[in-house]
A and B are shown apart, each in its own frame.
Chain A
Amino acid sequence: MEEPVMKDTQWLARELKAHGVSRNDFLKFCGSMAAMLSLPEWAAAKLPATLAAAAKPTVVWLEFQDCAGNSESFLRAWRPTVAEIILDAVSVNYHETIMAAAGTQATAALDQTVAKHSGEYLAIVEGAVPTGAGGAYCTIGGKAALEIAREVCGHAAATIAVGTCASFGGLPAALPNPTSALSISEAVPAAANVINLSACPANADNITALLVYYMTMKRWPPLDDHRRPVFAYGQLIHDACERRAHFDNGQYVQAWGDEGHRLGYCLYQMGCKGPVTSHNCPIVKWNEGTNWPVECGHPCVGCAEPQFWDKMSPFYKHLTGVPGFGMAANIDKVGIGAAAVVTAAFVTQGIVQKVRSRKEDNATTQSHEEEKRP
């Protein structure tokens, strides 16, 4: 991929000034961004200059079988004025939820971008792509979503799938997938550099971090097996959870509003899917770092994982068949050897659960297929 040509090196300085952002604020922001991206110190020191020197990437934001939750999430990008800069830092030529033009003037903006900036622009996609009913389950300007996705993502420098629907099919693709919905990488296998920012919705901090990473590092971050950036999906929720000590101590919430619930005990028995979900929720949290689901008292539902609607539900059923155990509690009682056995049992149970849920999926699929027969 060709590096974007730098035309105006002063835009960021101007924008910062126009927003009343001091150099100090900006450096602070870059420092925390670097911390979040886990960049080494030398990179953090370089960040302001490199970000300021970045060209303004052209972005088109497509919505297919979506709920606009990822667009809304993006509007919550925090660090007030600087988050605005990050929005301004890219030129958003098409985004149905916010753009002023409608109808043919709107679709013309998309067509012009694809024609003029072919191979250079970033496509951000929200929602799944339906393939049933000849494309009629989602049309925009009379065109089927699949056709638009092929044209736009097929000519993009990269496609960022925001949210679990675009990343993995999500809710429309939940069994029995009535509209034959696909993820963007399934719908457009030819799309270059597809990056999945799953979760329902994608966290604004991760969308922002990915764009900043691209603009400063001039490349995309390392991805996991599901094409998700390792910086946001490299760790299990369970391993970074503030309630982990309670899990290890065998202290569990038993009923909604009980003493353990009020004292922040582990939600494992109430169905928490943190042990099998990779995401940075406990670290970056949501809405200016205010809170996240487990902190507020509700179990994780595993929304960042592929097919979570089918594999993680019923959401309140706990992960293993083994009722509450805790590593520390067991250490106290029977010593470390037993704890290791229990841990192994937990891991095994996790695998068993995964296998079981897959089997259940197959069973459900079958029964739905049977229902469909006349």
Chain B
Amino acid sequence: MTHIVVDPITRIEGHLRIEAEVDGGVLRDAWSSSTMFRGIEIILQGRDPRDAWIFTQRICGVCTTVHALASVLAVENAIGAVPPPNARLLRNLITAAQFVQDHVVHFYQLHALDWVDVVSALSGDPAKTSKLAQSISDWPLSSEKYFSGVRDRLKGFVSGGRLGPFANAYWGHPAYRLPPEANLLAVAHYLEALEWQRKFIRIHALLGGKNPHLQSYLVGGMATPIDPNSETAINIGTIAAMHELIADARTFVNQVYIPDLLAIASFYKEWFSIGAGVGNYMSYGEFPHTEGPNAVPYLPSGIIVQRDLAHVQPVDPRQISEFVTHSWYDYKGGDARGLHPFEGETNPAYTGPKPPYDRLHTDGKYSWLKAPRYGDKPMEVGPLARMLVAYAKGQPQVKKAVNGALAALGVGPAALFSTLGRTAARGIETQIIVEKMSDWVDALANNMSQGDLRINDNTKWDPSSWPAECMGAGFHEAPRGALGHWVHIKNGAIGNYQCVVPSTWNAGPRDARGNRGPYEAALVGTPVAIADQPLEILRTVHSFDPCLACGVHVVDASKNEIVRVRAV
């Protein structure tokens, strides 16, 4: 048994460490540890709840907007504010743009190098690469000359001896399977995706002033005025600009991302049976069609237990609890029981080895992440969970896209429960979201033409209109999965604030019963050809799209605000 440590896990957001036992070329056990902590919920206490979204958005700059939206939803739920339809449409568009941009960046910039050998691309034949490209897509950048230029550029880079971010990696590792031409194609699209993402995210600047960290949310709605007769508001020009960016995105997703995903996956089909994980999936649902917390979403909510697609259960937030048995926190009542977020408490108490250290105490506490559980079960969240819930519930667009992808790959639905299943689900999701975006732009334009220019519920702006004490929860599907914020407001100020976040669900440690978290469970059984080259480990971990800054949270450290309520 060899004990291996991978720290830092790179090409993710944040600070993640994986320790693992490897025996006979197979990973036998794994421990997932987050090694950074800030204490943002402590910082929020006593502040104006209308400011909270500006703070919480900074939980993560990769998942920008997601904690802003969850925050305003939680405060609106607490104070009874009802944002007008235009605010919902703007939020849907911002969220959708985040999904599409983030998923593409994940595939090319964060995940692709797990499957694509950059050095092998140097021996790719441009003529054959061109033929390959044209056989899988109508994307116009596909000439022999074009790939020849990309290869020359890459050669210049490599022969200069300064590989920069590509240095010291696992090029030539036996687990790389793509022919040189497919590698060259993927490297070309790595560079194209870098260009495309920057242009596409201008939608966020149009609707939010800037990206990352948009600045247009409000408790009660949005701060971007709408007026077809003003140059200083969202107007017909903005509508046209969004349509154009969305059309470009649709083309890029359908002609570059999806064909690449299917082509690369076809060389790695064994990864459709590796990395299954806990087998439980949760989605809160996203993209509401109407106003209010009970609105029907475009992507449905639901719980799947033990891969049983025939029985999708409704989400009951009362079932959510967090354990700290293996996390660097103490609970006053002991570590054996999990606490619901509204009852939560956190007393950071580091008991790990003093840095610099070689190994964590994996038998005891070993992470800054808590271990969230739903009805005492670990849940995987994210694109795969959303697509499975939607597929099982018969959401027509998802059903069609999933069946199409499975047919193209020649695999059955069971293949989705895997490392590549996660990666494929992310692509499918991008496709069905980018197809939907224009509808929301049209709805916004229609409201504008009907004279509905409302963007905010101003009746609840003044804190004097709020109850002296209230609490609320905001549920949102972020690109990486189910996100919940819980807020308790007292006399116009934040008494308690908590977040239970996608990467906490996925990357969290073991619970009181010793059940592994989703990363840990998915890693068990992963082949490891070369113990000191963690390529296969990166594949499975990256398939979740880790975001550790999001994952680390502190629940209510105040001594006077332990609130017991009927959970929402």
Tell me whether A and B are bound partners.
yes
Report whether B168 and A14 are in contact in the complex, using a CB–CB cutoff of 8 Å. no
Smallest Cβ-Cβ distance to A178: which chain B residue: B39
In the assembled complex, how far is the CB of residue B213 from the closest CB belonging to chain A, in whole angstroms? Answer: 6
Task: For B38, give its contact among A68, A134, A172, A294 (CB under 8 Å).
Answer: A172
Smallest Cβ-Cβ distance to A76: which chain B residue: B198
Give Cα A364 to B47, complex, Å: 11
Smallest Cβ-Cβ distance to B554: which chain A residue: A178
A325 within 8 A of B: no
Report whether A286 and B164 are in contact in the complex, using a CB–CB cutoff of 8 Å. no
Q: Which of B203-211, B257-265, B268-276 contacts A (4 or more CB under 8 A)?
A: B203-211
Give Cα A174 to B61, complex, Å: 18
**Interface size (B, Cβ < 8 Å)?**
110
Q: Determine the chain A residues whose CB is within 8 A of the CB of B51 once the complex forms.
A: 313-316
B339 within 8 A of A: no
Q: Determine the chain A residues whose CB is within 8 A of the CB of B267 once the complex forms.
A: none
B221 within 8 A of A: yes
Q: Encode contact with B along A74-98: 1 for CB under 8 Å, 0 otherwise.
A: 0111101101100010011101111
Task: For A140, give its contact among B7, B11, B549 (CB under 8 Å).
Answer: B7
Which residue among B6, B47, B51, B210 has the maximum number of chain A CB atoms within 10 Å of its CB? B210
CB < 8 Å A-B pair total: 322
B458 within 8 A of A: yes
Q: Determine the chain B residues whose CB is within 8 A of the CB of A99 once the complex forms.
A: 10-11, 165-167, 169
Report whether B14 and A68 are in contact in the complex, using a CB–CB cutoff of 8 Å. yes
A255 within 8 A of B: yes
Which residue among B36, B533, B559 has the maximum number of chain A CB atoms within 10 Å of its CB? B36
Report whether A75 and B156 are in contact in the complex, using a CB–CB cutoff of 8 Å. no
Smallest Cβ-Cβ distance to A98: which chain B residue: B165
Q: Determine the chain A residues whose CB is within 8 A of the CB of B39 once the complex forms.
A: 172, 178-179
Q: Determine the chain B residues whose CB is within 8 A of the CB of A316 once the complex forms.
A: 48, 50-51
* Residues 356-374 (chain A) with a chain B CB within 8 angstroms: 364, 367, 371
**Interface size (A, Cβ < 8 Å)?**
99
Task: For A75, give its contact among B153, B198, B223, B328 (CB under 8 Å).
Answer: B198
Give Cα A292 to B36, complex, Å: 31
A24 within 8 A of B: no
In the assembled complex, how far is the CB of residue B30 from the closest CB belonging to chain A, in whole angstroms? Answer: 14
B331 within 8 A of A: no
Which residue among A68, A75, A105 has the maximum number of chain B CB atoms within 10 Å of its CB? A68
In the assembled complex, how far is the CB of residue B501 from the closest CB belonging to chain A, in whole angstroms? Answer: 13
Which residue among A63, A71, A171 has the maximum number of chain B CB atoms within 10 Å of its CB? A171
B197 within 8 A of A: yes
Report whether B14 and A103 are in contact in the complex, using a CB–CB cutoff of 8 Å. no
Task: For B59, give its contact among A67, A71, A292 (CB under 8 Å).
Answer: A67
Report whether A262 and B453 are in contact in the complex, using a CB–CB cutoff of 8 Å. yes
Which residue among B197, B226, B352, B355 has the maximum number of chain A CB atoms within 10 Å of its CB? B355
In the assembled complex, how far is the CB of residue B126 from the closest CB belonging to chain A, in whole angstroms? Answer: 14
In the assembled complex, how far is the CB of residue A215 from the closest CB belonging to chain B, in whole angstroms? Answer: 16
Q: Encode contact with B along A306-324: 1 for CB under 8 Å, 0 otherwise.
A: 0001000111100000000
Smallest Cβ-Cβ distance to A11: which chain B residue: B160
* Residues 334-391 (chain B) with a chain A CB within 8 angstroms: 348, 350, 352-358
Smallest Cβ-Cβ distance to B458: which chain A residue: A255
Report whether B350 and A133 are in contact in the complex, using a CB–CB cutoff of 8 Å. yes
Task: For B15, give its contact among A73, A91, A140, A181 (CB under 8 Å).
Answer: A140
Report whether A76 and B201 are in contact in the complex, using a CB–CB cutoff of 8 Å. yes
Given contacts A101-B169, A176-B42, A262-B232, contact A290 B202 (CB under 8 A): yes
Which residue among B54, B165, B356 has the maximum number of chain A CB atoms within 10 Å of its CB? B165
Which residue among A109, A130, A261, A292 has the maximum number of chain B CB atoms within 10 Å of its CB? A261
Given contacts A100-B113, A296-B216, contact A108 B58 (CB under 8 A): no
Report whether A286 and B5 are in contact in the complex, using a CB–CB cutoff of 8 Å. no
B461 within 8 A of A: yes
A287 within 8 A of B: yes
Give Cα A26 to B342, complex, Å: 57
Give Cα A301 to B54, complex, Å: 9
A350 within 8 A of B: no
Report whether A144 and B205 are in contact in the complex, using a CB–CB cutoff of 8 Å. no
Task: For B212, give its contact among A73, A142, A179, A313 (CB under 8 Å).
Answer: A73
Q: List 30 A-B contacts (CB under 8 A).
A: A14-B156, A67-B59, A67-B60, A75-B109, A76-B201, A95-B165, A96-B12, A97-B11, A99-B169, A103-B534, A105-B169, A105-B170, A106-B8, A106-B168, A137-B350, A138-B37, A139-B15, A141-B7, A171-B38, A178-B554, A255-B458, A256-B221, A261-B233, A288-B199, A293-B215, A296-B205, A297-B233, A298-B218, A313-B51, A315-B54
